[in-house]
Structure 1
Amino acid sequence: METTWKEQTLETIEQRSWPEPDFDDHTGQRLYALWRTPLARFTVEDIRLLIAHKAALSHLVPLAIEKLGGNLFAEGDFYPGDLLQSVLTIDPEFWYANRPLWSSVYELIRYRDWELEERGIRADGFLELS
């Protein structure tokens, strides 16, 4: 039986290891562990954290879009919509190189600007890329 990409780890997909963290670096330890965790086990917070650290965006943004499609204001550890905010603040170079992904996110938010504003989610930089 063939393994789907979601059953693989970022370490396998990216064919590289995450740097081993300092012993007292909680975030570094978490990122190190996530790099070796199958994508199918990722929580909203796991995806948000990795995206915030600009890790493996070409693999994580599709997962984020999937989560956001089910709940635009999916919540990690901080507030409702923190995953969306992380996605919207990804570097423009990524979006220019990945227009279909940009379009998918755009379709999720295009008619919901009042909800974004009400929740304090800033999309202006993302929308300027249109």
Structure 2
Amino acid sequence: MKPFDASKTLEDLTGFCVDGRDVAGTPLTVRINRSWKKPLRELSDDEIGRLVVQRDGFPYILDLVWPKLENDPLFDGGYYPGDILSSLIRCEPQVWAARPNYRAQLASLYQRALNREPEENEAFRASLDLPDEGAMTS
């Protein structure tokens, strides 16, 4: 994996220009397009989370979010604790083509998230339709 320059935008890195894509877009589309025009190092956690959940900006967004997930697998990208990991677990296989090392680490992150206290991982479990931890011990 070749490191990238975080002072560049997603447009710079991909060569894809989003100009005009938000003319009649939704508020979400407008926010996504603005994120594409910001240097990657200036993206907020919410912007990174939104891009991951919308499956946009890969593989560069994976490089930004992965250290956050390694630090806290229930990293909150703006929706609920564990939203990023939940979204990545449900990603299509082609998402991992450029970053197979991350795909190989998903199971470990998943297990770490499940091992957290029930009140911490409740939304994460619900997003994956997993049984409530309390229901499993009753």
User: Fold match, TM over 0.5?
Assistant: yes
Structure 1 position 24, deviation (Å): 5.9
Aligned partner of 1:128 in structure 2 is none
Q: Residues 48 and 86 of structure 1 are in contact (CA less than 8 Å); yes or no, is this contact kept in structure 2?
A: no
Q: Tell me what 2:39 maps to.
A: 38
Contact (CA 8 Å) 1:22, 1:28: kept in 2 or not?
A: no
> Which of 109, 117, 128 does residue 122 from structure 1 map onto?
128
**Matched residue pairs, number?**
121
Q: Is the 8 A contact 2:73 2:113 kept in 1?
A: no
TM-score under structure 1 length normalisation: 0.75
CA contact (8 A) 2:22 2:30 kept: yes
Once the 2 structures are TM-superposed, how far is the Cα of residue 9 of structure 1 from its aligned partner? 0.6
Query: 1:5-56 CA deviation, whole Å, 9 max, x = no partner?
Result: 2111101000111252135621111011100111112222211211222222
**Which moves more between the two structures, 93-102 or 61-70?**
93-102
Instruction: Give the letter for the 1:122 counterpart.
Output: L
Q: 2: CA distance between counterparts of 1:29 and 1:93?
A: 25
Q: In the alignment, is the contact (CA less than 8 A) between 1:47 and 1:83 conserved in 2?
A: no
Aligned partners of 1:47 and 1:60 also within 8 Å: yes
Q: Name the CA distance, whole Å, in 2 between partners of 1:86 and 1:123.
A: 13
TM (normalized to structure 2)? 0.72
* Distance in 2 (alpha carbons) for counterparts of 1:84 and 1:116: 16
Identity %: 19
Matches for 1:87-98 after TM superposition, within 5 Å: 87-95=88-96, 98=99
Where does residue 100 of structure 1 map in the other structure? 101
Cα-to-partner distance string for 1:73-102 (whole Å, 9 max, x where unaligned): 111222111122122221123236642120
Q: For 2:95 and 2:37, how far apart are their aligned partners in 1?
A: 24
Q: Tell me, which stretches of 5 or more residues in structure 1 are unaligned?
A: 125-130
Secondary structure of 1:5's counterpart equals: coil
What residue is the counterpart of 1:11 in the other structure?
11
- Structure 2 alignment gaps of length 5 or more: 131-138
